[in-house]
Structure formats: C-alpha cells, structure tokens
Amino acid sequence: MPVHRTLHLGVDLTDAGAHPGAWRAGGSRPPRPFDPARLVDLVATAATGLLDFALFEDSFALQPRRGASYQGRLDAALVAARLAPRSHGIALVPAVDVTHTEPFHVAKAIQTIDHVSEGRAAWQVAWSTSPETAAAFGRRTAPDVVEALTEAEDAIEVAGRLWDSWEDDAEIRDVATHRYVDRDKLHYVDFEGVRFAVKGPSITPRSPQGRPPVVVVVDSPLSLDLAARRADVARVRVEDVDEAVQVRRTLRDTATDAGRRPDELRVLVDVVTVVGEDLRSAQERLDLLTELAAIDAEPGAAPVAGPFDGSLTHVGTALDLADLVAAWSAAGAADGFTIRPASLATDLAAVVHGTVPALQARGLFRTAYPGTTFRDTLGLTRPASRYATTTS
C-alpha cells in the first residue's frame, strides 16, 4: 500500500452552496446553478487548491421547498462527464441513485467518466425511500431504508463485477486475425439478487482505475455498516469531535471484521463552512444567508437555521478552519474532510486561497497531486480484475 501521509480535502459543489439562501447571495447577479461555464470555473478553482475531488449531489424529485430556495438539478453523472475533459488533477464524484437506476447503467456511466477523465472518476452511491421519487417513475413503491440499503449493496457488488469483467489486456486489436478483443478475457458476472439479475459482461473496456472508488454517506448505523464493508471513502456527518473519533474507529473495526484492511477506507467528515475576515463578519454572512432563505417562506414554515443535516459547521476565518481541520485530524477523528461551502460564490475561494495554504505550511496538505488518478490521490492501489487468471 502507498504511504498515506496528508489530509484529504474534497468539496461539495452542489446547487449554489450548502445554505438554501446561497442562490440569492450574489446581489443583482446571483449565481446561475445550471450554467455550465460556472461549473467549469468552480471545478477549476477547487483544482487550484489541489482538492481531492469535486462532488455533485443529485435527486429525482424536487427539493423540499424552504422559503426562497430554488429547485431542480442537472444530472450529476452527465455534469461530471462534461467536466471530465475540461478539468485536470481533481476527481469528479457524481451521486447516482440505485433505487431507480439499473446498476448496469450506473456502472457504465461511472466507467465512461473514468475513461474520459483518464482516471479521475468516483461514484457516490445514493438511494431513495421517497414516495415522491417513486411516483415520478411509477414502476415501484418506495422501499424502506433496509430494502434500499440492501439493494444499494447489491448494486455496488454488480458494479464492481462489471468493472472487472474486462481484464486489463482484453483489448488486443489484432488486425491480422480480425479480433478486437480476446473473448477469453471477457467474463460474465452472473449476479442473482432479490431485485435484479445481471449477466454481463460490461460493454465498456476496463477503466484507468480498474474500479473507480466508491463513496458512501454515513448518517445511520445501516449506512455505516455498508460503508465499512463496501466503500473506499466514507462521508461522515457528525458535529462533535469525540463522536467523530468513535465513528471512525467503528468504521475501521467493522471493515476489519468484514475481512478488509482498515487502511483501505478513507473516512472524511463533512464540514459546512461560512468564512469571513473575522468571526463577526462570518456570522453576519450566515445571518444574511438565513434572511435571504426566509424570503417568500410559506406561512407557518419553521425558520431556516442552517445546513439542516447535523453536519459539523464552521463559522469563522479561513485560518480558523485550518485550525479545526488540524485539530480533528490530530485527534484521530478523520482522514480528511468534505467541505460544503455555505455559498459557493464566496466560501470556495476562501478555502482554496486561505485554508489550503495554511494547511500546506504545516505540512498537513499536499503541494502537488501525487499521481494522475483519484486512487493515486487517495493513496489506494489499483485493484486487479477478480476474473484475471494471469498477470498482465
């Protein structure tokens, strides 16, 4: 295993930011969430800071209306595919739902992004228990959490098998014998599950990373178990450092019990950031975002209080954020952090130009990408195909 030396920092570029009032924060020129040029610029800014990855959430239903928050999203996988040839160094991580998407299609989409990006793709596994989402498709009723997570694990297994179904040297392109592939090195995956069966093989050659990394959000005991057994990256949502230490320890212990090496799993804590020149200005920014989100709120609606999902929240300077990241890392609470800027228009640049240099000066963050793939950045080896019988 490559030596794991420095912190990992990713960024969530979903919507206009983590705060629902962020889309109004640009004054007379508010951010345009569906503008492709804006997305290219955001990813370029994140790459300037040598961040590990840019992540895009997704959903098949309109977001719950909280005051003046906008609704609707672009397809995360298609966004990542567009950004892949227009970005460098940084990995692209779309969330893709497996409750309403066939795992063959998911695997092929992520594998395609990995090819187009030359090894910088990953997949955040998403699932849905929403009746509204199920009604949008009209093909099944909404599953409960246990069923959704069981199906998600099956989908991860199928994707891994499909990504391995072409051995690395299956493409021979032999003009003399008119053979493009060596069919002995293409393999049926023959998966039989409760919800679906997949024969395979994939129709896409093995990707640069072999198997793109899998990301799982940990927000419950069931999702923690799934992440420990199946994820390369676990995104943890906690607010207390002691709780984060315990969750990371549990993830590593559960991974060991499942027969994995715990160092194969990267544990990243989500942190919502509201950055200002000092604590007072940061708090004033948060207050403004909250006021903006309350505009046009439905009668009787609860006031908007923040990111809403129990994540660690930092309100302060960029240097204070570096202190927090360093302290949590030293405590053994995380291998890194997924930064969720409250407003992408302001907080992303503050992190890149303020927090990152402070961490670099302490030797806690890289000064260059360590390789060309996301696995290189994570310090994870490229796995061999499970079907390979010879060393290529």
pLDDT for res 28? 45
Cα–Cα distance for residue pair 22/31, rounded to 1 Å: 8
Encode 186-235 in three state secondary structure. Answer: ECCCCEECCCCEECCCCCCCCECCECCCEEEEECCHHHHHHHHHHCCEEE
Residue-level pLDDT at 389: 77
What CA dihedral angle connects 72, 343, 47 and 326, to 10 degrees? -130
pLDDT at 5 over 80: no
Task: Please give the mean pLDDT across all residues of the chain.
Answer: 90
31: pLDDT confidence band, cut at 50, 70 and 90? low
Using pLDDT thresholds of 50, 70 and 90, give the confidence band for residue 391: very low
* DSSP line for 360-382: HHTT-S-SS-SSSSHHHHHT-PP
Token readout for 257 is: 């019990």
**How sure is the predictor about 281, in pLDDT bands with cuts at 50, 70 and 90?**
very high
Q: Is residue 310 pLDDT above 60, yes or no?
A: yes
pLDDT at 65 over 70: no
pLDDT at residue 67 tops 60: no
Tell whether residue 392 is among the known ligand binding residues. Answer: no
Bridge partners of residue 54, in order along the sequence: 11, 92
Question: Is residue 2 predicted with pLDDT exceeding 50?
Answer: no
What tens digit of pLDDT does each residue of 242-255 get? 999 999 999 999 99
Residue partners of 140: CB distance under 8 A and separation at least 6: 100, 134
Q: Is the pLDDT of residue 174 over 80?
A: no
- Model-level pTM? 0.91
d(CA 249, CA 304): 33
**pLDDT higher than 50, residue 93:** yes
Which residues share a beta bridge with 70?
A: none
Q: Do residues 106 and 90 touch, judged by C-beta distance below 8 A? A: no
Residue 303 has pLDDT above 70, yes or no: no
Strands (E), 223-362: 233-236, 266-275, 312-316, 336-341
The mean per-residue pLDDT over the stretch 289-316 comes to: 73
| pLDDT value of position 292 | 84
pLDDT of residue 306: 53
* Predicted pLDDT of residue 44: 97
Instruction: For 133-159, write each residue's pLDDT tens digit.
Output: 888 888 888 999 999 999 999 999 999
| Domains of the chain as residue ranges with CATH | 8-135+213-378 (3.20.20.30)
Name residues whose C-beta falls within 8 Å of residue 333's C-beta, 6 or more positions apart in sequence. Answer: 241, 244, 245, 248, 269
Measure the CA–CA gap between 118 and 111, rounded to whole angstroms.
10
pLDDT of 304 higher than 80:
no
Least confident of 162-166, 167-171, 172-176, 342-346: 172-176
Whether residue 95 contacts residue 53, with contact meaning beta carbons closer than 8 Å, is answered with no
The answer on pLDDT for 297 being more than 70 is no
Q: Grade residue 68 by pLDDT with cuts at 50, 70 and 90.
A: very low
What is the C-alpha to C-alpha distance for residues 26 and 173, in angstroms, rounded to an integer? 53
Q: What is the DSSP string of 71-134?
A: -----HHHHHHHHGGG--SSEEEEEEESSSS-HHHHHHHHHHHHHHTTS-B-EEEE----HHHH
**242 annotated among ligand-binding-site residues:** no
Report in angstroms the alpha-carbon separations of 253 from 54, 57, 300.
28, 28, 45
pLDDT in tens, 216-267: 999 999 999 999 999 999 999 999 999 999 999 999 999 999 999 999 999 9
Please, what sign has the CA dihedral across residues 111, 113, 116, 122? negative
Residue 299 has pLDDT above 70, yes or no: no
The mean pLDDT value for 173-194 works out to 83
pLDDT score of 253:
98
Give residue 320's pLDDT: 97
Q: Which amino acid is at 30?
A: P
